[in-house]
Amino acid sequence: EIVTTVEAQANDASGVAGRLRVSMPPHLEALWPLFRAFGRCYPAVRFDVFVTDRRVDLVADGVDVALRIGEGGSAGYVGRTLARYRHRLVASPRFLAAHPLRAPSDLARVPCACWRSPRGSVWQLGDTEVDLEPAFVTNDYLHLLRLAEAGDVVTEVPPFLAARALERGRLVEPLTRYPLPEVTMRALVVERRSMPPLVRHFLDFAAENVPRALGVAMATS
């Protein structure tokens, strides 16, 4: 549940107003309620949300806050770590019955689908790095999830996307002794001497609510 405190509502007259332009990746539908909740706290705020899988230039693109996954930051930007989590390796029960996975090395011999990455198709499972020749590559985690649910592939997706299918048994998680690396979600802003009240309040709100919205661990730093 998104936090909407009486104190936040009382701050509506404290200069928290105007347009806030946010950039975010396309697979974070779980965060949409956060914008609605922040808007209820601060009715004078207007959102402009730019959904893209590319790394935007905050200055050139006029972005106030960029939500990013797996990037420590860039020169001229400062930010706050919002959440930490690990992707889940998932496949359907039918797929695993036909393609048993007992060790990470088995993945090189079964149909896989991978996120498109400059590193190529490599999964780090525990201490083992597996080079893959995937049957399918895309920059859409929802597509990867659907392929796994259909029983076509084994893939890796964020935990908040896989949670429902795992709970309902449509997917299972093989090789749990070999976890994928931890990734971070950060909110980046342009480094400046004084942060606008709207941006500062949104960062505070996001730090409190993003982990809850995604169902992942709150960042400790």
pLDDT tens, residue by residue, 107-126: 999 999 999 987 789 999 99
Distance from C-alpha of 46 to C-alpha of 135, rounded to nearest angstrom: 43
Instruction: Give the start-end residues of each E strand in the chain.
Output: 18-24, 45-51, 65-69, 77-86, 88-90, 113-115, 122-125, 128-131, 136-138, 155-157, 182-190, 217-218
Q: Which of 3-12, 78-87, 134-143 has the lowest mean pLDDT?
A: 3-12
pLDDT digits (tens, 9 = 90+) for 50-91: 998 888 889 888 999 999 987 655 667 888 899 999 999 999
Whether the CB-CB separation of 173 and 166 falls below 8 Å is answered with yes
Please provide residue 76's backbone torsions phi and psi, each rounded to the nearest 5 degrees.
90, -5
